[in-house]
Structure 1
Amino acid sequence: MAPSALVAAGQELTVRVPATCANLGPGFDSLGLALSLYDSIRVRTTTSGTTVVTVSGEGAGELPGDESHLVARTLLGTLERCGYSCPGLEIEALNVIPHGRGLGSSAAAIVSAVLAANSLLPAADRMDAPALLQLCSTLEGHPDNVAPALLGSMAISWETGRAFQSTTVRVHPEVIPVVAVPGSELSTEAARALLPASVSHHSASSNAGRAALLVHALGAAPEFLLDATRDSLHQDYRAQAMMPSATLMRGLRAQGYASVISGAGPTVMTLAVGEQQAAAVERLIEELTAAPDEPHGWRVLRLKVDTEGAKVEVHQR
């Protein structure tokens, strides 16, 4: 194998990536929504011969500070795929997206690392948008989080042969995501292990219809959101691993609000319509989580739909 070329030292850039909510109820492994909650990394190439990662915010004091960190590992691996290596690397990671809560923190790390690596390459060797989506989806294992992280808005993703593809839908401006984040984590692998190997034709057809309705509801007709977010494929099966979240979601839905488990959970996201409904959802979450048999530590965030996706800023020195 030919020796790799070195990316230029002295480069500096910042990447900001939004949190995401995948599945959106019936859109299992295919729909994702970008949210106005952001992780960012600042990357500098050096001649030190070492990789140093500094983490603040979520995971500070817990995540590794060397090349084994997910962002560093992915960035260096992406450069290697492209035939390059880095003489030295400094990464400052500011983590705001909660870890292990179903809000796409791992996808944000992968997207930020791949975009950073791509920007460090000479212009002639950089990947285009489809190649970036393909690589990020391959590294994450599926596109439902990385696509909205890259593109913003609501992303619809599918696979043709071995190629991941995605397109976006503009979300109705009155839709306001309200997320309730519990204090406990849940691994995506543990949640996915609870899913059955097969489902009935009735469940599959029900989800297909509601997923189609959800695209229309989010884009143009929010009055259909409650019906459109009913799921038959994954949420009920995973409920046993996150009963407080499942109970909260059901309580919100019983009051007429379009509530879903975000990704693999355990965060609960409600798609409110207008500020008045968003405030009502917040009050109801407070009531439902204040019961003696409910765990403490819920954080409630009223967010926006991110419409831009990941952003790279190159700093001139």
Structure 2
Amino acid sequence: MGKVKVRVPGTSANMGPGFDSIGLALSIYNYIEAEETESGLCIEVLDAETKEFLPTDEKNLVYKSMKYLFDKADYRPKGLKLVLNSEVPVTRGLGSSSACIVGGLACANELSGKPFSSREIMAMATQIEGHSDNVCAAVSGGFTVSVFQKDEIFYYSHKMNGDLKFLVLIPDYAVTTQKARNTLPGYYPRRDVSFNISHASLLVASMVSGNYENLLCAMDDRVHEPYRKVFIDGYPKIYNKLKSYGSLGTYISGSGPTLVSVVEADDAELFYEDIYEYMQKAHPTWTVKLLDADNEGVKVI
């Protein structure tokens, strides 16, 4: 009977103009233990908040992802026991579903004898999730750019060197991915398409080169943020406050409502203290975290 435990990072996707293509793995994690048993399915969710959202039957996303890989590997465990411990908040735009999918696939791959490569797992996760930005970062770690085309994943993962930190502002309310996607228009003017192509290109160049002075401009977006920021209470004031305190750039993480602000590591602690004090007064129910980039991605521990 096999047993495995994996750690999966939360992820921040879209990153301004990088809609469905640019992602970042962060130092906030979900832990999944999977053990083969003689029969049945037992799923235990340790985190109280997450327990409200995650089913503990065959509808559970971790289990469904494991079964997806087991079917491809033609592997049939008699039974399974899963223990899920989640730091990544659900429905907040930090890749909770991708963490479940990638973690489930990684566990199943280990239990079935590692028949699939990381790239193949990434492609499976994209097929389940529907877009590659979160899952690519969750598998490989780092700052990632990805394209999913004809059932194949093409990606680049840039490992961060620790000179940036990421202030994460997490509201105490949810915005579902479906709601966030439904608010987007079906078509965009040519000028907006050109705007996003140029800004996404500048964003990638800035992050990979380490020339961060262009980030404030590079993170401007016309595809999703103008339509989604209405779901975030106090967005204009928070954005301007982050900018006034020295943020290199701020964006809506995933489909929201979480905001991520990029700051130089040397200034991060003071920046965090200033913003934490402001948020305690303006939005005391929000959670404020200062995180690093995660360069490892999903990991068997």
TM-score, normalisation: structure 2:
0.93
Name the CA distance, whole Å, in 1 between partners of 2:163 and 2:94: 21
Opposite residue 162 of structure 2, the aligned amino acid is P
Structure 1 vs Structure 2: percent identity of aligned residues? 32
Aligned counterparts, 1:147-226, within 5 A: 147-219=136-208, 220-226=210-216
- CA 1:172/1:205 → structure 2, altered by over 3 Å: closer, same or farther? farther
When the two chains are superposed, the root-mean-square deviation of aligned CA atoms in Å is 1.8
Q: 1:82 aligns with which of 73, 79, 82?
A: 73
**Of 275, 278, 292, the match for 1:304:** 292
SS in 2 for 1:85: coil
CA, structure 1 residues 104+62, in 2 after alignment: closer, same or farther (shift >3 Å)? Answer: closer
* Structure-2 residue corresponding to 1:96: 87
8 Å contact 2:118–2:139 — kept in the other structure? no
For the residue of structure 1 that corresponds to 2:92, the secondary structure is coil
- Per-residue displacement from partner, 1:234-285 (whole Å, max 9, x unpaired)? 1011122224346523442465521111010000100101232452254135
With over 3 angstroms needed to count, the CA separation of the structure-2 counterparts of 1:250 and 1:78, relative to structure 1, is: farther
Alpha-carbon deviations, 1:141-164, whole Å to 9, x = none? 010000000000001001333423
Instruction: Check 1:205–1:256 CA distance in 2 against 1; reply closer, same or farther (3 A cut).
Output: farther
Amino acid in structure 1 at the alignment position of 2:293 = V
Higher deviation after alignment, 127-136 or 298-307: 127-136
Tell me what 1:136 maps to. Answer: 125
Within-5 A mapping of 1:278-297: 278-284=269-275, 286-287=277-278, 290-291=281-282, 295-297=283-285
Q: Note the residue ranges of structure 2 that are not aligned, 5 or more in a row.
A: none
**Which residue is equivalent to 2:110?**
119
Tell me which structure has the larger Cα radius of gyration: 1
Q: CA deviation at 1:67?
A: 2.3
Match in the other structure for 2:257: 266
Verify: 1:107 aligned to 2:94, yes or no. Answer: no
Moved beyond 4 Å, runs of 4+: none
Higher mean displacement: 113-122 or 163-172: 163-172
| SS of equivalent residue, structure 1 residue 185 | coil
Q: Which residue of 2 aligns with 1:26?
A: 17
Distance 1:94 1:222, change over 3 A: same
> What amino acid does structure 1 have at the position aligned with 2:228?
R
CA contact (8 A) 1:177 1:272 kept: yes
Equivalent pair of 1:175/1:218 in contact (CA under 8 Å): no
TM-score, normalising length from structure 1? 0.88
In 1, the alpha carbon distance for the partners of 2:203 and 2:146 equals 14
Query: Partners in 2 of 1:259 and 1:278 — Cα distance?
Result: 17
1:53 equivalent to 2:38? Answer: no
AA paired with 2:180? Answer: A
Query: Of residues 230, 248, 268 in structure 2, which corresponds to 1:240?
Result: 230
One-letter code aligned to 2:195: S
Give the letter aligned to residue 235 of structure 1.
Answer: E
- Check whether the contact 1:245–1:261 (CA below 8 A) recurs between aligned residues: no
Match of 1:229 in 2: 219
Aligned residues: 298
Secondary structure at the residue paired with 1:196? coil
